[in-house]
Amino acid sequence: MEITIQWIRTTWTKESRGGAAATLRNAAPVGLLLPHGSAPFVHMVRMHEDHGFEPYDSREDLSKVDVQLREEEGRLRVFPKVQPLFALPPRKRRPRAVWLAPGQWVRWQLNYRFSSAMGIRDWTYWLDTFNVAYGPVNADVFLSQPPVSIDERGPLR
């Protein structure tokens, strides 16, 4: 069966926590058109405040994605990994994995806050959005509202 993943990572510092920069960051897309090609693949998209949150993308192998995937009895189990363990916010209790039937997709969002090694630099923030589709999809599949959505974003201060 075909598996298509779009992994969008948005990164910023305290410079984009408020004002016009935060407005720009919050307007960053959580779904984009897929590049041409056949599944399985990962459409990796990065957006950073240094580049005005403009997306730049690449194509990766499924083994590179931070999501546990398992096909079983005609369904796909999807469960993003929380990496790295020292990031905030703490996640003591996580939602259960999602099981997708063919033709379904899920949008799963997680956010993080990191300090630099030895606190030399300011905080860095990440938002990971995983759009995961099971089965054949059109290039615009992730532009619509997801049938299944998991929001694991927590307070970052």
Q: Out of 5-9, 113-117, 125-129, which region has the weakest mean confidence (pLDDT)?
A: 113-117
Between 60 and 122, the more confident residue is 60
Radius of gyration of the chain (CA): 16
- Cβ 134 vs Cβ 104: under 8 Å: yes
Q: What pLDDT, on the 0 to 100 scale, is given for residue 17?
A: 80
Of 119, 91, 105, the C-alpha closest to 149 is 105
Q: What is the mean pLDDT of residues 82-88?
A: 68
Between 101 and 124, the more confident residue is 101
Between 11 and 155, the more confident residue is 11
Q: What pLDDT, on the 0 to 100 scale, is given for residue 121?
A: 63
Q: What is the mean pLDDT of residues 145-157?
A: 88
Dist. CA 136–CA 40, nearest whole Å: 10
CB count, 10 Å around CB of 42? Answer: 22
How far is the CA of 45 from the CAs of 20, 21, 63, 77, 127, in angstroms? Answer: 23, 20, 16, 23, 12
Inform me whether the pLDDT recorded for 120 exceeds 70. no
Interval 16-34: pLDDT, tens? 888 888 888 888 999 999 9
Q: What is the mean pLDDT of residues 30-43?
A: 88
Interval 47-61: pLDDT, tens? 999 999 999 999 888
Of 139, 105, 140, 128, the C-alpha closest to 47 is 128
